[in-house]
Structure 1
Amino acid sequence: MTADTTDVPGAGPGTPAGPDPDPERRRREQHGWYFYDFACSVYSTSVLTVFLGPYLTAVAEAAADTGGFVHPLGIPVRAGSFFAYCVSLSVLLAIVVMPIAGAAADRTGRKKPLLAVAAYTGAAATAGMFFLDGDRYLLGGLLLIVANAALSVSMVLYNAYLPQIAGPEERDTVSSRGWAFGYASGALVLVLNLVLYQGHESFGISEGTAVRICLASAGVWWGAFALIPLRRLRDRRVVREGGPTVTGWRQLVNTLKDMRRHPLTLSFLLAYLVYNDGVQTVISQASVYGSQELGLDQSTLIAAVLLVQVLAVAGALGMGRLARSFGAKRTILGSLAAWTLTLAAGYFLPAGAPVWFFALAAMIGLVLGGSQALSRSLFSHLVPPGKEAEYFSAYEMSDRGLSWVGPLVFGLTYQLTGSYRDSIISLVIFFLLGSVLLARVPVRRAVAEAGNPVPERI
């Protein structure tokens, strides 16, 4: 068993790691933490949400047989489902790696080196998407799987810093600001992408080359801005309190056994697993729905996602303020009701009508950042002290690692019906069931049973 300790003045052996008591040093570390969202969110926005889905689908269609199927490893897959299946496979890979990375971080206290490896693996795979052209759908699928899994692993380590850099009363605000930084960077890069994509002829490049540059530039951006958190975040010392060192899968088993001692934390994770699966699937499949079902061009999709990014900044900060008045749980439940209404509206969107797609994007933007930021900060109160990375590995499995059911349902629905409208409406169940499960969690008691101080409002 381990106990993480701070390396700040006054921290003694066995003292649980916490925020730096010096306000200036604490703010410096928080600002560095924000910048990892600033670095990696461009992948989620430009690559996963906007460009890669339609582009990889087009590449797969170019390689498809007369029936519209590609055959990776000899398995017949409808070209339109290939992207969704790759997202699911990337999540399954992340499931294997994330808990081990989290346990290793808590055991050694060295989150930063592990964060660096995950971040630059993902950035390199993303930059490699420049070579995705012709009928190289297998290359695109491989790079997507590696980049997506690496992002998930890096987020385990990144999120595990939150209880160590922010006190209980400020976590909603700090978490919301992190998401706001991410959405701001996504908006900035999307503006640059839009300029390049729409003006590709004036730059003397083809449309396909413009898309590949946009994909690769997200990897360069990710790698460049990851340097800031890697300089400012501090690793905490670890004091080992008896018992042999355990590694790999044995540590994972021990972590899962320990989590059984906190059933209310597990109840929240189950609720989050369900509703966040819906959120992640909407994010990854929205551009495919817009291009394939609604017949919208790439410029319209970029502008719609740009609108999401801008409104998500305001939404994350605004919902953070609502949480201070109504509590994080009630605010999240309200956002899930809005998600349900948004998907229902999306089912009835007319094809070839960008204005209605923009209205839908605005609805998504206003609830997207807040629901994610508040879920992260709420969970940080449910983590037993000294087990941040291990428990956040489980959280990240719920956030990204187990978000393979939604894409699988989306892909299977399209494979069976040939309708993306049926695929999008099938995701409503994730938000309805997630709301029911979250409503049943007594969060104040869950915080107390985890051994943490209970905030005035939660």
Structure 2
Amino acid sequence: MGTDTVREPAAGAVAGRRREQRGWYVYDWACSVYSTSVLTVFLGPYLTAVAESAADPEGFVHPLGVPVRAGSFFAYCVSASVVLAIVVMPFAGAAADRTGRKKPLLAAAAYTGAAATAGLFLLDGDRYLLGGVLLVLANASLAVSMVLYNSYLPQIAEPEERDAVSSRGWALGYAAGSLVLLANLVLFTAHDSFGVSESMAVRICLASAGVWWGAFTLVPLKRLRDRRAGPAAAPVHGWRQLAATVRDMKGKPFTLAFLIAYLIYNDGIQTVISQASVYGSKELGLSQSTLITAVLMVQVLAVAGALGMGRLARAYGTKRTILGSLVAWTATLGAGYFLPVGAPVWFFVLAAGIGLVLGGSQALSRSLFSHLVPPGKEAEYFSAYEMSDRGMSWLGPLLFGITYQLTGSYRDAIVSLVAFFVIGFALLVRVPVRRAISDAGNPVPERI
């Protein structure tokens, strides 16, 4: 009888953890459609076209009286969204850990982003400023929501499960992106058959991502549960808490070293995600249908890539697998500089290379960092991580925009991104992850 008494709670705990994990996966399913359809495919070229229609004869728009080349406006808005996220994320992370109430904060961030995305339906004519404001709000809200979402990972998965759980979340997100993007492709290419203009089709695709995001967020909000805050919970002071988190990280220098390496190579990843469609459209002269097909290919291959790299991590170690992905990123972007104009086949080859490493490099980075977080400080540390993931990824888009503004060539802008992967690799290879995990007070997995 004693044995049965022990087993039943243990079995119940496992079942409860699995239920939370399944709910957790669905937030990737919900929000990844924004990243795919809005940020990666439609909004960059469309907002650039709207800005160009509002530009003066020299090709400049003047938000707040500042002259900005219309082709750089989208990249600058992405950077501005990062600034807003940096302001808000420390408060969200500190509030989550100190109050234990992550779900209401996750709901607020998710539905702010979903509403702003749905509002992009109003983007037409020369309303480039409206598009810029909604982009900044949606992108910053996504970053804040991901702080809270990612911070659940150490609480809902045992150390040996995290690579698999994180990879499944990414894979499900890319599956959702593929499904919705396929529907977008049908609507966009056959818009005449549906009785709508090309511009209206794009606006419907943008707005539908917001509706999808909001609808499926209901599932994780139902299944995830808040943990009770510690007895010493204090009032929230976001920036003070961020400063305290950074000071705490200085006592864990290997965790900080990983975060710096991730900050750099992920800056390159995020810039590729947000600027690839602009590069394909404006520099390579590819049609919107070609770009949608290429991104759809990325989404499908990213599902296999995330799951496949998860298996590679179990066989060869997480750190080694991430390093291999950075080599692949470097080679892929180096080849991207030489792509010929008007040659979709070679662009598809590039997209295939990106798809195979995209999901895995991000999923495994999230999983590895979860091992480096001291127990009880998940949201605070993931706030700093999210600043690296989206919040601090301002340098790449800014450099991309400035390079284009100075040279007028997106090809010159894309080649600069190789440096992020080379430097990130050089820093990550020096991080002793086993010692970092031990120093954080966590059990060291057999293979990491």
Q: Which moved more, 1:261-270 or 1:146-155?
A: 261-270
Q: Do residues 203 (structure 1) and 188 (structure 2) align?
A: no
Aligned residue for 1:238, secondary structure, equals coil
Question: Where does the alignment leave 5 or more consecutive residues of structure 1 unmatched?
Answer: 1-8, 11-18
1:280-319 maps to which residues of 2 (within 5 A)? 280-319=270-309
Deviation at 1:21, TM superposition (A): 6.3
Q: Deviations over 1:303-342 (max 9, x none)?
A: 0000000000000000000000111100000000000000
Q: In the aligned structure 2, how far is the partner of 1:252 from the partner of 1:398?
A: 13
Deviation at 1:78, TM superposition (A): 0.4
Matched residue, 2:214: 223
Write the letter of the residue equivalent to 1:341: A
Q: Do residues 177 (structure 1) and 164 (structure 2) align?
A: no
Q: Deviations over 1:128-150 (max 9, x none)?
A: 00000000000000000000000
Write the letter of the residue equivalent to 2:312: L
CA-based RMSD of the aligned residues comes to 1.3
Identify if the C-alpha distance between structure 1 residues 137 and 394 changes in structure 2 by more than 3 Å, giving closer, same or farther.
same
Q: Deviations over 1:430-450 (max 9, x none)?
A: 000000000010000000000
Write the letter of the residue equivalent to 2:270: Q
Which residue of 342, 345, 354 maps to 2:332?
342
| Cα contact 2:94–2:236 (8 A) shared by 1 | no
Matched residue, 1:359: 349
Deviation at 1:190, TM superposition (A): 0.4
Q: Do residues 101 (structure 1) and 92 (structure 2) align?
A: yes
Q: Do residues 382 (structure 1) and 368 (structure 2) align?
A: no
Task: Report runs of 4+ in structure 1 exceeding 4 Å deviation.
Answer: none
| Cα contact 1:272–1:434 (8 A) shared by 2 | yes
Which residue of 31, 46, 66 maps to 2:37?
46
Matched residue, 2:322: 332
Q: In the aligned structure 2, how far is the partner of 1:101 from the partner of 1:245?
A: 13
Q: In the aligned structure 1, how far is the partner of 2:143 from the partner of 2:426?
A: 26
Write the letter of the residue equivalent to 1:283: I
Write the letter of the residue equivalent to 1:91: V
Matched residue, 2:25: 34
Write the letter of the residue equivalent to 1:457: R
Q: Do residues 72 (structure 1) and 63 (structure 2) align?
A: yes
| Cα contact 2:91–2:236 (8 A) shared by 1 | no
Q: Deviations over 1:371-390 (max 9, x none)?
A: 00000000000000000000
Matched residue, 2:239: 249
TM-score (norm: length of structure 2): 0.97
Deviation at 1:259, TM superposition (A): 2.0
Aligned residue for 1:237, secondary structure, equals coil
Q: In the aligned structure 2, how far is the partner of 1:116 from the partner of 1:303?
A: 32
Deviation at 1:411, TM superposition (A): 0.5
Q: In the aligned structure 2, how far is the partner of 1:438 from the partner of 1:20?
A: 38
Aligned length: 441
Write the letter of the residue equivalent to 2:379: A
Matched residue, 1:273: 263
Deviation at 1:251, TM superposition (A): 2.4
| Cα contact 2:163–2:367 (8 A) shared by 1 | yes
Identify if the C-alpha distance between structure 1 residues 79 and 330 changes in structure 2 by more than 3 Å, giving closer, same or farther.
same
Matched residue, 2:254: 264
Matched residue, 2:134: 143
| Cα contact 1:20–1:26 (8 A) shared by 2 | no
Write the letter of the residue equivalent to 2:288: Q
| Cα contact 2:374–2:441 (8 A) shared by 1 | yes
Write the letter of the residue equivalent to 1:112: K
Q: Do residues 391 (structure 1) and 399 (structure 2) align?
A: no
Write the letter of the residue equivalent to 1:121: T
| Cα contact 1:414–1:420 (8 A) shared by 2 | yes
Aligned residue for 1:349, secondary structure, equals coil
Deviation at 1:260, TM superposition (A): 1.8
Which residue of 111, 114, 137 maps to 1:123?
114
Q: In the aligned structure 2, how far is the partner of 1:380 from the partner of 1:196?
A: 40
Identify if the C-alpha distance between structure 1 residues 117 and 414 changes in structure 2 by more than 3 Å, giving closer, same or farther.
same
Q: In the aligned structure 1, how far is the partner of 2:221 from the partner of 2:311?
A: 29
| Cα contact 1:36–1:226 (8 A) shared by 2 | yes
Question: Where does the alignment leave 5 or more consecutive residues of structure 2 unmatched?
Answer: none
Write the letter of the residue equivalent to 1:81: S
Write the letter of the residue equivalent to 2:256: L
Deviation at 1:252, TM superposition (A): 2.6
Which residue of 433, 448, 451 maps to 2:441?
451
Matched residue, 1:114: 105
| Cα contact 1:381–1:452 (8 A) shared by 2 | yes
Deviation at 1:20, TM superposition (A): 9.2
Which residue of 418, 426, 436 maps to 2:416?
426
Q: In the aligned structure 2, how far is the partner of 1:437 from the partner of 1:248?
A: 29
Deviation at 1:100, TM superposition (A): 1.1
Q: Do residues 62 (structure 1) and 53 (structure 2) align?
A: yes
Q: Deviations over 1:224-259 (max 9, x none)?
A: 0000000000000112238x5342332232222222
| Cα contact 1:328–1:374 (8 A) shared by 2 | yes
| Cα contact 1:448–1:454 (8 A) shared by 2 | yes
Write the letter of the residue equivalent to 1:174: V
Q: Deviations over 1:75-118 (max 9, x none)?
A: 11000000000000001110111111001000000000000000
Aligned residue for 2:359, secondary structure, equals helix
TM-score (norm: length of structure 1): 0.95
Q: In the aligned structure 2, how far is the partner of 1:157 from the partner of 1:250?
A: 18
